[in-house]
Amino acid sequence: MVDLIKRAKELIETSAVRVVIGYEQGIGNKTRALFVEKAEDAGKLIFDSRCVQNLAVYITKKEIKEKGKMAIAATLPVMRSIIQLASEFQVNDNNLLVLGITAESKLIEFANLVEVETFVHQYQIEIDARNKEMLDKLGKMTQAERWKFWIDELAPCFKCYACRAACPMCYCHRCTVDFNQPQWIPVPSHELGNLEWHIMRAMHLTGRCIDCDACYNACPLSIPINLLTKKMLEDAKEHFGGYQPSLKGDHLMSTYKPDDKENFIH
């Protein structure tokens, strides 16, 4: 992507930013994240349909923030993540420049995050047809069938936490699952512990997950954990006035309204 390479080179040469985060060719047919800190490395930047890793996962990392102002090559899901992270006070205009990449692979340099937000607002998060069909199928199951489905699907999870590492919204320095004094979630992989880990993960991401599928793509066992967050996304939209993350305003799980429904309390 010539425009991106050219702009990344200029940004580093003029010290407008200290690092440009983008994609480079990885092993085999895979791509991986590239951190351009020297102008001569800008030529390694690539962009094509294989570049689906959510690069926003890096912008909250201490090691990257310490370098100084960063620029990031951002597809729509990455831009959504950035706006969600900005609404959680994790990034701002002083430490981030967004080099947007449109669906037509065009480069748009945004002057600030307000402009990124305006761009993102044009596109609703839509669950793709295959996953929608799966959610509908799950919705039609009895409670017992659904319970069995998830017990079976989550059984092979061996808690490698690759899904957590790939998610831009999982930026806590220490996750609840890493505590052993007290231990909230059991460390070994077993039925109850796996269920607890994934329920906890889905709940922490409700109203924040921007549906990029990076967690699912990172799972070595292809466990469909993204169905849990997709379901929460659908429910939030249906029950809370079309709510969706990545749009500034009230945060779903930290906002209370006197007329909120209470029919979940029995």
Question: Which residues sit at the interface with ligand SF4, rule CB under 6 A?
Answer: 54, 157-163, 166-167, 169, 205, 209-215, 218-219, 221, 223, 225-226, 229
At closest approach, how far in Å is the CB of 159 from ligand SF4? 5
CB of 167 to ligand SF4, least distance (A): 3
For ligand SF4, the closer CB: 73 or 202: 202
Q: And the tokens for 137?
A: 């199928």
Smallest separation, CB 111 to ligand SF4 (Å): 26
Give me the residues paired with residue 31 across strands: 25
Q: Rounded to an integer, what distance in angstroms lies between the CA atom of residue 160 and that of residue 218?
A: 10
- Looking at the Cβ atoms of 31 and 229, the one nearer to ligand SF4 is 229
Q: With CA atoms as reference, report the closest residue to 72 among 102, 43, 101.
A: 101
The residue among 17 and 84 lying less far from ligand SF4, judged by its C-beta, is: 84
- Alpha carbons within 13 angstroms on the beta-carbon side of residue 238 total 6
Distance set, CA 21 to CA 34, 58, 96, 172, 257 (Å) = 6, 8, 11, 21, 40
Closer to ligand SF4 by Cβ: residue 74 or 167: 167
Closer to ligand SF4 by CB, 59 or 169: give it: 169
Identify each DSSP E strand in the chain by its residue range.
19-25, 31-36, 70-74, 96-101, 107-109
Kindly state the smallest distance separating residue 64's Cβ from ligand SF4, in Å: 18
CB of 84 to ligand SF4, least distance (A): 8
Strand 107-109 versus strand 96-101 pairing type: antiparallel
What CA–CA distance (Å, rounded) separates 30 from 27? Answer: 6
CB 177 within 8 A of CB 200: yes
Q: With respect to ligand SF4, which residue has the nearer C-beta, 9 or 198? A: 198
- Min separation Cβ 236 and ligand SF4, Å: 12
Phi/psi at 228 (5° precision): -65, -45
